């Protein structure tokens, strides 16, 4: 694999990890900011946001057929 492809794959992996880890916290922060809910930043609230996002969006898996 050439270094450009390795860098692109690494960038995608790091971006996905960043969104999975910090996305729920950004959601909680935005709800607190917009509505003054004072939700604490804990693992339980993080996991709850992950669950809500999964239920609302569903788990989407796309398989491409290669010929």
The DSSP-derived string for 11-55 is HHHHHHHHHHHHHHHHHHHHHHHHH-------HHHHHHHHHHHHH
Instruction: Give the per-residue pLDDT at 12.
Output: 94
pLDDT by position in tens, the chain (length 67): 688 899 999 999 999 999 989 999 999 999 999 999 999 999 999 999 999 988 888 766 666 666 6
């Amino acid at each position: 694999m050439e270094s450009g492809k390795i860098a692109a794959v690494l960038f995608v992996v790091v971006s996905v990890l960043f969104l999975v880890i910090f996305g729920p916290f950004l959601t909680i922060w935005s709800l607190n900011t917009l509505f003054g809910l004072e939700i604490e930043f804990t693992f339980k609230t993080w996991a709850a946001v992950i669950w809500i996002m999964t239920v609302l969006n569903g788990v989407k898996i796309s398989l491409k057929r290669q010929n």
